[in-house]
Copies of this chain bind each other. A is one copy, B any other.
């Protein structure tokens, strides 16, 4: 497990200490039936989730808008350190196959760091890494902080 120092020009970071045990945070991120309950800020929903929890394994979710339109997202895991670190990306699918770039895509790599904190809680750090400043800014404008923060609130509510 390699330490990572975010680059403020390229990376967005959500860091918070939460009163949820590390193993519960891990479960929420890695069990489809749990992930679907918190992953997408309401009133959006996550209506499908496939997880193959290994480097190169698929990490697919389908989001549904309040109007019922569905948005499938494909990706794969890059690094899996049980209970501690989950790295995944939107630029590759199963077996590390590159995904063709398309308009409207948001190419990023996500890094979820789970560190035991006082009183059985978790120091939670979620990082979205981008290729360049414009990709980072686009993700910020799309509401990274608000969206990932609201999803984390839902995770905490679910797992508490």
A residues sitting closer than 8 Å to B (CB atoms) are 2, 4, 10, 54-56, 78-79, 87, 89, 91-92, 95-101, 107-109, 111, 129-132, 135
Identical copies in the complex = 2
6 residue pairs from A and B, CB less than 8 Å apart: A78-B78, A96-B109, A97-B129, A97-B131, A98-B130, A98-B135
Q: Is the CB of A131 within 8 A of B98?
A: yes
CA gap between A87 and B89 in the complex, in Å: 16
Residue of chain B at shortest CB distance from A105: B101
Q: Is the CB of B55 within 8 A of A78?
A: yes
A133 to B: closest C-beta gap in Å: 10
Residue of chain B at shortest CB distance from A10: B97
Report chain B residues within 8 Å CB of A111: 96
Q: Is the CB of B95 within 8 A of A4?
A: yes
CA gap between A130 and B10 in the complex, in Å: 26
Q: Is the CB of B87 within 8 A of A96?
A: yes
Give 10 nearest A-B pairs by CB, closest first: A100-B131, A98-B131, A98-B107, A101-B101, A96-B109, A91-B98, A78-B96, A97-B129, A100-B132, A91-B91
A102 to B: closest C-beta gap in Å: 10
CA gap between A107 and B102 in the complex, in Å: 13
A56 in contact with B2 given A91-B92, A92-B89 (CB within 8 Å): yes
